[in-house]
């Protein structure tokens, strides 16, 4: 009688790199059918005097099923996240046209104005406000408030030399403040702008403030329409 030696592995395997790259590379229908074919062949050709251990088959079936269930669960969770993101985006749509204050020092120049709020944690002896364009070039510089607390600043879009900058673009406010003994004071900055559209960026609902992407998580407050001044 001819016998066929049992194979040491009956389940098609994938490398760790392939499995980690994408669940789409795991075709469970094809792999499971292959597994059953190998299993049936082994059973048909096993030595009747030395049958294979059925526990091995059972463990392989259970392991295969557990992996399939886990990936299906992950796919369902991904679908739920996508639905949740879509719901958040739809809920954010009424924000289009609203003026918002958000955590961040960059905003767009809209209708010749860009609004900011900077906060000093303590009194300063000297404060300098600097507005930089998208290339990092300082286009405006002027003294700022020195008292501790929040301060509104509305830039009229004019450079220090009086040149009017066009609407759009991204302008960043930097605050350089020093206290007694020339110690540096770290100021925080929030920006103000009007939402022109809402989109999804990296899985998160994002406000488009005339070209400046603002994640919804950075929203501080909604201001009266058209306002460039925060309510302190």
Distance (Å, whole) CA 12 – CA 24 = 16
Kindly state whether residue 191 falls inside one of the protein's structural domains: yes
Percent of the chain with pLDDT over 70: 67
109 with 151, same domain: the answer is yes
Last residue in a domain, options 68, 93, 118: 93
> How many domains does the chain fold into?
2
| Residue labelled with tokens 């673009």 | 169
Kindly state whether residue 7 falls inside one of the protein's structural domains: no
Kindly state whether residue 131 falls inside one of the protein's structural domains: yes
pLDDT of the residue at 60: 67
142 with 27, same domain: the answer is no
Pick from 21-30, 104-113, 145-154: least confident? 21-30
Q: Can you tell me the mean pLDDT for 195-206?
A: 81
Distance (Å, whole) CA 9 – CA 56 = 10
pLDDT tens figures, 67-119: 677 777 777 777 776 666 565 655 656 788 889 999 999 999 988 999 999 99
172 with 218, same domain: the answer is yes
80 with 121, same domain: the answer is no
Kindly state whether residue 232 falls inside one of the protein's structural domains: no
Given a cut of 80, whether residue 64 has pLDDT beyond it is: no
More confident residue, 149 or 225: 149
- The residue range of the domain holding 25 is 16-93
Given a cut of 90, whether residue 163 has pLDDT beyond it is: yes
Residue 180 token pair: 């007694």
Given a cut of 70, whether residue 227 has pLDDT beyond it is: no
């Amino acid at each position: 009688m001819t016998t066929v030696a049992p194979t040491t592995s009956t389940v098609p395997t994938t490398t760790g790199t392939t499995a980690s790259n994408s669940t789409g590379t795991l075709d469970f229908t094809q792999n499971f059918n292959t597994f059953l074919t190998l299993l049936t062949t082994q059973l048909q050709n096993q030595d009747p005097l030395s049958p294979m251990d059925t526990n091995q088959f059972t463990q392989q079936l259970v392991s295969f099923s557990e992996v399939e269930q886990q990936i299906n669960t992950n796919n369902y969770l991904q679908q739920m996240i996508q639905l949740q993101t879509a719901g958040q985006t739809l809920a954010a749509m009424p924000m289009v046209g609203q003026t918002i204050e958000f955590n961040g020092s960059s905003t767009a120049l809209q209708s010749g104005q860009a609004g900011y709020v900077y906060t000093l944690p303590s009194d300063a002896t000297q404060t300098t406000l600097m507005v930089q364009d998208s290339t990092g070039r300082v286009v405006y510089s002027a003294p700022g408030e020195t008292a501790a607390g929040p301060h509104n600043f509305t830039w009229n879009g004019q450079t220090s030399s009086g040149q009017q900058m066009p609407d759009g673009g991204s302008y960043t406010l930097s605050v350089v403040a020093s206290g007694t003994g020339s110690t540096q004071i770290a100021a925080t900055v929030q920006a103000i702008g009007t939402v022109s559209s809402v989109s999804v960026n990296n899985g998160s609902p994002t406000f488009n403030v005339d070209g400046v992407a603002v994640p919804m998580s950075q929203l501080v407050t909604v201001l009266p329409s058209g306002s460039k001044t925060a309510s302190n």
